[in-house]
Amino acid sequence: MLESLLLAFLKIGLFSFGGGYAVLPSIQSEVAGPGWLTEDVFARAISIAALSPGSIATNGATLIGYRIEGLPGAIVATVGIILPSLILTILIAMFFYRMRDSKWMRYVLYSLRPIITMLILYAAIRLLGMDADIGLNWATIATLLIIGGAVFGMLRYKLHPVLVIVASGLTGIILF
């Protein structure tokens, strides 16, 4: 059981591009296939994973592993999803620093930068879309206000990100 869990999450880690929410569909298909989890247990685990600090994909793996096989399952799933990206990132970093000044690396970076910028923006849009009751209501307006305040505070006053997070949490208690 633990071995197939490890294999499943190694596979997810290796083929999950785009981070966070982009990884969730592949987790879902991998764990739904063998019938390890029902749909609603999966949804619940994912929403808690998104609420917890840290990477959503990794948290998702931890909680789903825990749900399937207890603490050993949680450890195996977490290691499984991280290991491929750790190894690949080390290889890429080695390559990057060796090739950094070459013409082709500059060409690749020229192309990658705008794409990754939009990938980040896309992740932000998806996160906004996660709010269940999006529309012209108080919750949406309050969220947009907080987003605007956070962006303004960080760009204009160079506020520390943690300060922004704490202030937004407090604002949330007042607004929602």
- Looking only at residues 1 through 40 of this chain, which bind other proteins when binding is defined by CB under 8 A? 13-23
Closest distance between other proteins and the C-beta of residue 36, in Å? 16
Tell me how crowded residue 136 is: count the other CB atoms within 10 A of its CB.
6
Residue indicated by tokens 């947009």: 144
Q: Do residues 8 and 30 make contact, with C-beta atoms less than 8 angstroms apart?
A: yes
Nearer to other proteins, 4 or 17 (CB): 17
Residue type, 120: I
Residues 54-73 that bind other proteins (CB under 8 A): 54-59, 62-63, 66
Which of 92, 96, 65 is CA-nearest to residue 78?
65
Q: Of 74-93, which residues contact other proteins (CB under 8 A)?
A: 74, 78, 81-82, 84-86, 88-90, 92-93
Q: What does the block give as tokens for 97?
A: 């620093």
106 scored as a contact of other proteins (CB under 8 A): yes
Q: Return the residue of 97, 98, 102, 134 that touches other proteins, per CB under 8 A.
A: 97
Rule CB under 8 A: which of 125-144 touch other proteins? 125, 127-128, 130-131, 139, 142-144
Q: For residues 156-175, which are near other proteins according to CB under 8 A?
A: 160-162, 164-165, 167-173, 175
DSSP 8-state code for residue 162: H
Question: Would you count residue 154 as binding other proteins (CB under 8 A)?
Answer: yes
CA separation for the pair 170, 175 (Å, rounded): 9
58 by Cβ neighbours in 10 Å (0-12 / 13-18 / 19+) ranks as buried
Contact status: 147 vs other proteins (CB under 8 A): yes
What is the x/- site pattern for other proteins, positions 109-128, by CB under 8 A? Answer: xxxxxxxxxxxxxxxxx-xx
